[in-house]
C-alpha cells in the first residue's frame, strides 16, 4: 500500500506545484482560438534560450459573461493574469485598465495596417489581432450562372428590378454586384416575387434583435457612406446611408425575399436556411464557410456555393471587421515577459503555428504565403480585411457593445413594423449620443 501511496503523493505534489511559468495569459475559452493559442504557447515555451520568467502559462474561464467578469477583474486591479483576451468592440471599455503594447516592426508586415487597426483605441495599439471575423457574400453559382446564361430570365430579372427597385437593372457577375444588384437577384430568386424561381427565398437576413446581427448589417449603410459619428463626434446614424440600408432590408422582408421568421434568425438559423438549398444568397460571417462548403454538412449546396466580399455601394465595397486579440493588463506583475510573448505572437513564425492549429488570423504577404497551402480560407480573409475592412468611428469605444445592442433593438423594430423609420433613427441617435458621451 505504502509503496504506491508515496509515488502517488509525489506525483500529485508535482502536478499541484506551480510550474516554472511566470507569464499568465487569459485566453478565449473553447473553440479553435483555445486550440491555436495552446499550440502557439507550447511552441513559444519550447524555444531555446527562453528565460524561465518568460515562460507562458494559459488560463481559461467560462465564455459565459466572460467580458463582464474581465471588466470587474481589471477594474479591481487583478494580478491573476498578465495578458488577456480582448475584442475590437470592447477595447475602449478595458483600455483604462490596460497598457498599450509595442508589437514591433514585424507586426505590420504580418497583419497589414487595417487588421492591426482592429486592436487600436485612441491611436494606440492595445492588442495583437489573433483571430479575424468578417463577412462574405455566399451565393449559389449554379443559379447565378443559369440566370446569366438565359436571356428570358434576364428580361424577367429586369422587370422585377424595375417593379421593386424602380430601376431596370440587368444581371451581372456577383463580383460586380452593388447592393441594389444583390437585392434584385434576391427578389428574382424569391418564389413570392417570381413563381418560376428555383428557390423559395432569394436571401436570408439575420434580423433577430441581437447585436451580432447588426454587425452583419453595417456594411450596407457603410457602402453608402454611413458612419456612427462625424469627425466632430456628432452621431450621424440618422443619414441617407442608414435610411437606404434599413429600407432595403425592410423592402426585402416585406416582399418575402427572406423567410418571414427571419426576425428570429441568427447565425445558426441562417446557415440552416441556406444549407437547405432553398436560399440563393446570404451575407454571413466567414466562420460559416467551412460548414457551407463541406459536402457532408451541407450536401445540398456545398458544391455550388462560392464566397466573395459583400456587394459595393456608391462609396465603395466594405466588410465589417473585428478581431479577437490579446493585450496587456496594466496591473500585470510580469509585464515585460507578457510584452515579449505578444511581440513574438505578431511574427509570421508564430502566426503560422497559430493558423495551422485552427486559428483564423488575418495575414498578409509572406506570412500568408507560408500557410495558405494548408489554410486556403485565410487568403480571402486577409485580402478582404485589408482591402474592404472597416471599423465604424466609435466602434472600439467603451460602450460599443451597448451601441450595437441599441441599434439591434431599434432597427429590428423598424423591420418588423413595430415602429417607423424616423422613430427608430431618432431613438438610436438619442441612445448613441448618451452612450458615446459615456452616460
Partner 1 sequence: MAPKTQENRLLATPLVLYLLLLLGFPSLLNVFYSLSDVTFETLRTPRLSGFGNFAAVLSDPAFWRAVWFSLRFGVLTATVEVALGLFLAVFLSPLLQARPWLLALLTLPIMIAPAMMGLMYRLVLHEFVGPLPYYLLEWFGNSPAFLSPGWVFWTVCVIEILQWTPFALLLFHLAYSSIPADVREAARMDGARGWRTFRRVELPMLMPTLALAAVIRLIDGIRVFDNIYVLVGAGPGGSTTSLPIYIYTSFFRGGSLGPALAASVLFALAAFAGLFLALRAADRRAGA
Q: Given the rule CB under 8 A, which residues bind partner 1?
A: 65, 68, 71-72, 74-76, 96-97, 207-211, 259-261, 263-264, 269, 272-273, 275-276, 278, 399, 401-402, 405-406, 409-410, 412-419
Closest CA to 185 of 175, 174, 195, 196: 174
Q: In whole angstroms, how close is the CB of 395 to partner 1 at the nearest point?
A: 16
Backbone angles phi, psi at 162, to 5 degrees: -60, -45
State which residue, 266 or 383, has the beta carbon closest to partner 1.
266
Taking the least distance from each CB to partner 1, the nearer of 246 and 309 is 246
> How far is it, in rounded angstroms, from Cα 251 to Cα 183?
9
Q: Which C-beta is closer to partner 1: that of 97 or that of 224?
A: 97
Reported in sequence order, the residue ranges of 184-341 that DSSP labels E, i.e. its strands, are: 201-203, 279-285, 305-308, 312-313, 316-317, 319-320, 322-329
CB of 76 to partner 1, least distance (A): 7
Nearer to partner 1 by Cβ, of 38 and 430: the residue is 430
Q: Please, which residue, 269 or 333, has the CB nearer to partner 1? A: 269
The distance of closest approach from Cβ of residue 362 to partner 1 in the complex, given in angstroms and rounded to an integer, is 27
Q: How far apart are CA 86 and CA 127, in angstroms?
A: 7
3-class secondary structure, 163: helix
- Separation of alpha carbons 66 and 351, rounded Å: 25
Cβ atoms of residues 116 and 125 within 8 Å: yes
H helix intervals, 166-304: 179-188, 211-223, 240-254, 267-275, 289-292
Q: How far apart are CA 273 and CA 260, in angstroms?
A: 12
> Which one, 209 or 218, has the nearer CB to partner 1?
209
Which residue lies nearer to partner 1 by CB, 292 or 346? 292
Q: Closest approach of Cβ 400 to partner 1, in Å?
A: 10
Closer residue to partner 1 in complex, CB, 286/412:
412
> Nearest distance from residue 55's CB to partner 1, in Å?
31
- Cell digits for 67? 467580458
**CA gap 270, 19 in Å, rounded:** 45
Q: How far is the CB of 259 from partner 1 (least distance, A)?
A: 5
Q: Smallest gap, in angstroms, from Cβ of residue 246 to partner 1?
A: 13
Burial of 259 from C-beta contacts in 10 A (0-12 / 13-18 / 19+): buried
Surface-to-core class of residue 264, CB atoms within 10 Å of its CB (0-12 exposed, 13-18 middle, 19+ buried): middle
Q: How far is the CB of 92 from partner 1 (least distance, A)?
A: 12
Amino acid at each position: 500500500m505504502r509503496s504506491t501511496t508515496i509515488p502517488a503523493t509525489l506525483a500529485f505534489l508535482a502536478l499541484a506545484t506551480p510550474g516554472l511559468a511566470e507569464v499568465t495569459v487569459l485566453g478565449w475559452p473553447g473553440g479553435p482560438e483555445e486550440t491555436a493559442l495552446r499550440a502557439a504557447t507550447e511552441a513559444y515555451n519550447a524555444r531555446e534560450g527562453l528565460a524561465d520568467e518568460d515562460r507562458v502559462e494559459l488560463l481559461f474561464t467560462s465564455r459565459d459573461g466572460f467580458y463582464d467578469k474581465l471588466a470587474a477583474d481589471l477594474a479591481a486591479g487583478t494580478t491573476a493574469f498578465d495578458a488577456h483576451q480582448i475584442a475590437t468592440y470592447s477595447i475602449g471599455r478595458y483600455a483604462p485598465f490596460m497598457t498599450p503594447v509595442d508589437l514591433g516592426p514585424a507586426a505590420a508586415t504580418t497583419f497589414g495596417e487595417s487588421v492591426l487597426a482592429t486592436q487600436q483605441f485612441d491611436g494606440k495599439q492595445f492588442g495583437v489581432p489573433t483571430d479575424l471575423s468578417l463577412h462574405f457574400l455566399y451565393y449559389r453559382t449554379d443559379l447565378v450562372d443559369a440566370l446569366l446564361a438565359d436571356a428570358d430570365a434576364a428580361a424577367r430579372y429586369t422587370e422585377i428590378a424595375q417593379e421593386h427597385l424602380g430601376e431596370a437593372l440587368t444581371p451581372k457577375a456577383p463580383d460586380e454586384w452593388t447592393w441594389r444588384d444583390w437585392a434584385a437577384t434576391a427578389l428574382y430568386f424569391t418564389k413570392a416575387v417570381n413563381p418560376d424561381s428555383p428557390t423559395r427565398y432569394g436571401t436570408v437576413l439575420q434580423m433577430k434583435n441581437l447585436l451580432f446581427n447588426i454587425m452583419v448589417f453595417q456594411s450596407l449603410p457603410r457602402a453608402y457612406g454611413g458612419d456612427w459619428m462625424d469627425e466632430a463626434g456628432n452621431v450621424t446614424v440618422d443619414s441617407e446611408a442608414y435610411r437606404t440600408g434599413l429600407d432595403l432590408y425592410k423592402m426585402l422582408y416585406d416582399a418575402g425575399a427572406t423567410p418571414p421568421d427571419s426576425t428570429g434568425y441568427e447565425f445558426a438559423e441562417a446557415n440552416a436556411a441556406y444549407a437547405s438549398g432553398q436560399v440563393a444568397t446570404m451575407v454571413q460571417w466567414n466562420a460559416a464557410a467551412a460548414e457551407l462548403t463541406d459536402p457532408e454538412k451541407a450536401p445540398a449546396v456545398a458544391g455550388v456555393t462560392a464566397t466573395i466580399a459583400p456587394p459595393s455601394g456608391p462609396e465603395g465595397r466594405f466588410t465589417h471587421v473585428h478581431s479577437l486579440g490579446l493585450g496587456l493588463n496594466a496591473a500585470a506583475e510580469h509585464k515585460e515577459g507578457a510584452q515579449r510573448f505578444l511581440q513574438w505572437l505578431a511574427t509570421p513564425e508564430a502566426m503560422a503555428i497559430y493558423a495551422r492549429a485552427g486559428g483564423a488570423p488575418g495575414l498578409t504577404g509572406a506570412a500568408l504565403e507560408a500557410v495558405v497551402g494548408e489554410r486556403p480560407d485565410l487568403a480571402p480573409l486577409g485580402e478582404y480585411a485589408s482591402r474592404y475592412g472597416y471599423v465604424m468611428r466609435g466602434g472600439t469605444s467603451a460602450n460599443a457593445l451597448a451601441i450595437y445592442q441599441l441599434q439591434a433593438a431599434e432597427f429590428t423594430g423598424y423591420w418588423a413594423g413595430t415602429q417607423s423609420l424616423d422613430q427608430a433613427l431618432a431613438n438610436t441617435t438619442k441612445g448613441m449620443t448618451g452612450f458615446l458621451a459615456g452616460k
